[in-house]
Structure 1
């Protein structure tokens, strides 16, 4: 039996409505599911990005804070720089424990920050002109693109006469403003030279070059404070001692020995020219050594507590003499 026409019409009218409602419910479900997935995705992405950021940050912290960098000057039996050595010829020890060398740079190109400190005490007056002329030639030879030098004069006080700069003519002109003073604040000079270097950015070699007669008379800083300041600043100390009095009994040898001790502990050196006429040779030695240094880097194992004094030793498998710093302070430089 055929259904009445009005039933057929009702079916034809209601079926599209039910279909539309079903489609609407299905579409809404899809939209809600998509929105939920979007929320989940946008919630997870920052977390993952943050995790990656945390890992990157930990890596940066490890590389910038934990890494111990050791500059080593290696000399052959004739006192000349020993070149072309390989990583397997070096060993680094911290507190007697052998460390894994992670960074090896022969003839490192790491830029220099250098404080050049000229003794202007009365005892140096007769050689001051020779010293400033030799220093001017040293500056011209030493300062290369990326390097910076600051100039200080010291007597009973320490005065900065040129800030850190790569401007060679400006630095040379500043040397002409040096004037004689009274007394010799030797330890103050080392301490303040280290402080000035410690304020500079990381990733640069730090060097103090000090020209003096070696007499200590007016420092407020004592020997140990000066030595520790140089170590905390990761600074190499090179000293040129111009002996005004040639006879040992007539000069202050305590200052000379103190400078030798500080320089040795930092990995630097002390030179004793036979007069101002040999200053150029001494400056040339320093320049040559700075250009042929090996840079070694390692992450201490075990990791030491911050601020602790750590002994260091570098050994080289060759008939050579190696100079490097004997200690460092973990986790921080001099502020």
Structure 2
């Protein structure tokens, strides 16, 4: 006779009742002796930040035919602490960040979530890591006349950015108006920069392109091979000797990630000022960085902290190109991401390409 799902015979119920009665004393004794086994401590639990989303990966499934796992942690970063994209003999490293539809940083993703293409050809990801490694950071600070009513907020956001960075990071500051000038050379002590910025004032015109070019060349003296620029400016260029095309070419070759805090005037009077946001957005996007527009200068400190968090939570993908030619040509990069189940569509911020080595 077939049993109806969800019902038990009287005989079966009696059998289970006997088991429960016989095992209950032993269960209570174990509970009294070892309560921690039933309620493990959560001494290190933390709530996720409102500005970040951490993805808890599922437990790995053993696969007898799977290749050895990628090198991670210190060993991986000893290889990947190269330039923002560094081409070794056989390995290309691609740093990137991921954000959700609310523009929150997404951490905790797995290698299997990423697909990497070079010149539209799918590549095999050989190494994968996410670690807060030291960065050499150049700050490009607009001190032109149009910044007069924003200069204090801009200075404070720079200091807040440094105080929330990795303690091992090093910084230099270039201020610019009619021309760029080195305000403070490389230092890991934010107090050094704070003292130099205490009496800054705004005046004259805006040589933004010259300042970016100067910063990229200064970065050649950096201690760390992970490198980034942070630009704080309110408008377009109207004074530089270097052209936009010259600076764009230098950006492509430099392998330095660029972020910008843009304090733009919605009623800009000149063509240069109206094109300023487009210029900064294009330069930042090409390097895997981002432009953050400021609508309220009181938000600048929060934006600076957000950029600091992104630099400290980058993924690094490593792969061996299937094109072995060393021809020095530009190779396009594209990273696609398939989110884990239950997550919305995510956005990847990565460099758009690199130059192949010549030898």
**Does TM, normalized by the shorter one, top 0.5?**
yes
Specify which structure has the higher proportion of helix: 1
**Which one has the largest radius of gyration?**
1
Matched, 1:327 2:353: yes
Shift of the alpha carbon at 1:306?
4.3
2:37 maps to which residue? none
Counterpart residue number, 2:262: 241
TM-score, normalised by the number of residues in structure 2: 0.70
Are 1:69 and 1:295, in contact at CA under 8 Å, matched by a contact in 2? yes
Mapped contact 2:176–2:207 kept (Cα < 8 A): yes
Correspondence for 1:148: 170
Q: C-alpha displacement at 1:179, in angstroms?
A: 3.6
- For residues 260-296 of structure 1, give each alpha carbon's deviation from its aligned partner in whole angstroms, at most 9, with x where no partner exists: 1111111111111113211112102101211221111
Q: Residue 106 of structure 2 aligns with which residue?
A: 82
Match of 2:297 among 255, 266, 276: 276
Structural mapping, 1:260-299, within 5 Å: 260-299=281-320
Among 112, 118, 139, the alignment partner of 1:94 is 118
Is this contact kept in 1: 2:165–2:309, CA < 8 A? no
Kindly state the Cα deviation for residue 143 of structure 1 after the two structures are TM-superposed: 4.2
**Equivalent residue number for residue 182 of structure 2:** 160
Contact 2:129 2:316 in 1 (8 A): yes
Deviations along 1:66-91, one digit per CA (max 9) or x if unpaired, are 53221111112222122211111111
Among 125, 138, 142, the residue aligned to 2:161: 138
In the alignment, which residue of structure 2 is the partner of 1:176? 198
2:30 matched residue in structure 1: none
**Quick one: structure 1 residues 102 and 272, their matched pair in 2 at CA, closer, same or farther if it must change by over 3 Å?**
same
Give deviations 1:49-73, integer Å, cap 9, x for gaps.
xxxxxxxxxxxxx984553221111
Whole-angstrom distance in 1 between the partners of 2:220 and 2:283: 17
Which residue matches 1:28? none
Alpha-carbon RMSD across the aligned residues, in angstroms, is 2.1
SS in 2 for 1:151: strand
Is the 1:143–1:166 Cα contact (8 Å) retained in structure 2? no
Pair 315,198 (structure 1): closer, same or farther in 2 beyond 3 Å: farther
Which residue does the alignment assign to 2:222? 200
Residues 152 and 160 of structure 1 are in contact (CA less than 8 Å); yes or no, is this contact kept in structure 2? yes
Inter-partner Cα distance in structure 1 for 2:269 and 2:89: 47
How far does residue 181 in structure 1 lie from its aligned partner after superposition?
3.6
Query: Does the CA-based 8 Å contact 2:333-2:351 persist in structure 1?
Result: yes
Q: In the aligned structure 1, how far is the partner of 2:212 from the partner of 2:151?
A: 19
**Structure 1 unaligned regions, length at least 5:** 1-61
- Offset of residue 102 of structure 1: 2.0
Q: CA deviation at 1:249?
A: 6.1
CA contact (8 A) 1:188 1:220 kept: yes
Structure 1 runs of 4+ aligned residues shifted over 6 Å read none
Offset at residue 177 of structure 1 (A): 4.7
Q: Shift in Å at residue 309 of structure 1?
A: 1.3
Q: Distance in 2 between matches of 1:102 and 1:303?
A: 16
Question: Would the alpha carbon gap of residues 233 and 66 (structure 1) be closer, same or farther in structure 2, given more than 3 Å must change?
Answer: farther
Aligned length: 267
Q: Give the TM-score of the pair, scaled to structure 1.
A: 0.74
Aligned-pair CA distance for 1:250: 6.4
Are the counterparts in 2 of residues 74 and 322 from structure 1 also a CA contact under 8 Å?
Answer: yes
Contact map agreement 1:214 1:259 (CA 8 A) in 2: no
